Homo-oligomer: A and B are copies of this chain.
Amino acid sequence: MGTAAGQAEQAPGAPHAVDRLAALLAEDLAAVDALIHQHMTSPVGVIPNLATHLIDAGGKRIRPLITLAAARLLGGGGDGPRKLAAAVEFIHSATLLHDDVVDVSSMRRGKKSANVVWGNSASVLVGDFLFARSFNLMVETGDIQVLDILARAASVIAEGEVMQLAAANDAETSRERYMAIVAAKTAALFAAAARSGAVAAGRPGEEAAALDVYGRELGLAFQLVDDALDYGGLTATMGKNVGDDFREGKVTLPVVFARDAGDEAERVFWRRVMGGERTDDDFHRALSLMKRHNAIGLTLEAAREHAAQAKAALKSLPANAYREALADLPDFVVDRAY
């Protein structure tokens, strides 16, 4: 699946919620981009080259935007939230580099992935560099509380990645186990991004807890939509990356729904293909079984429920333009799969 927003499609019409958020935070976001570029410099040429390849490839900066918006929503100003937002993006970037090595991926954000261009070793080590730099940025804020939040999230993310690795080619992966993986590998960083924004604004109590829920639920929705898009979404549009999860033997929620609703012959099929014996023809059979059991629809329903929880979590927070923009994100995240 990948943890990136790589599969978001540009729909016609009004600007996306992410773009509106980016416009609202244009000045902050420019400062964050400057911080990002400043902190990925190194006399060791491979580092900025590889990092730029990934970071300038057009990610939507959704996680740093959440940090910035959470801080501004609660009246937090100054450089702290910007540094924190850059740190969040660095953690995310380091994760992507290591993910692509682990998944043997060849594409990322519509370009050859860094491991293909520079090799696995460079991707591992530059990932380590970016991860270290994320802590440099957090240290610059001087705020031990945000360090605590993000260091914990970093541990949980790594746990989630290892859980996912252990579950690969395990055809019997349950819905509960899969959701635990998603909560750790994806939602934990969204939650920490939002919570740390609140803490940077000097509001570590109820507001931070509400934003933590917002980020976590949004992250769950985000990943489930990514999983649905990996099978082409509801209209089975064959965009980039479609079929990656299937080829990697990742039992995601669409597979869980189709498998658990299937008859014995279908379960035999899922056991075989998710257990490691897969052909391209099998992918088409998988798609047709998912259609038969509305597995993508059910996955998107689950995503929509998490999106609704995310929106609900904002209700107790001050009503302002930042809250409004954050409230639009969950629908956007889900709508990109239709």
Question: Interface residues, chain A, CB within 8 Å of chain B?
Answer: 42-47, 94, 98, 101-102, 120-122, 124-129, 131-133, 135-136, 138-139, 142, 144, 147-148, 151-152, 154-155, 157-159, 161-163, 165-166
Contact = CB atoms under 8 A, between A and B. Distances in A.
**What 3 A-B pairs come out closest when comparing CB atoms?**
A132-B154, A129-B158, A135-B151
Most buried by B among A46, A122, A125: A125
Centre residue among A43, A120, A124 by max chain B CB count within 10 A = A124
Given A44-B166, A139-B144, A151-B135, A159 B129 contact: yes
A44 B133 CA distance: 27
Given A131-B128, A135-B135, A122 B159 contact: no
A101 B135 CA distance: 24
A46 to B, nearest CB: 5
Q: Binding site of A, secondary structure by majority: helix, strand, loop or mixed?
A: helix
A161 B127 CA distance: 12
Contacts of A101: 120-121, 124
Contact of A128 (B45, B98, B139, B142): B98
A124 B98 contact: yes
Contacts of A161: 125, 128
Contacts of A148: 136, 139
A75 to B, nearest CB: 24
Given A151-B136, A155-B132, A158-B128, A44 B163 contact: yes
B139 A142 contact: no
Contacts of A98: 124-125, 128
A280 to B, nearest CB: 24
A337 B101 CA distance: 37
Contacts of A45: 166
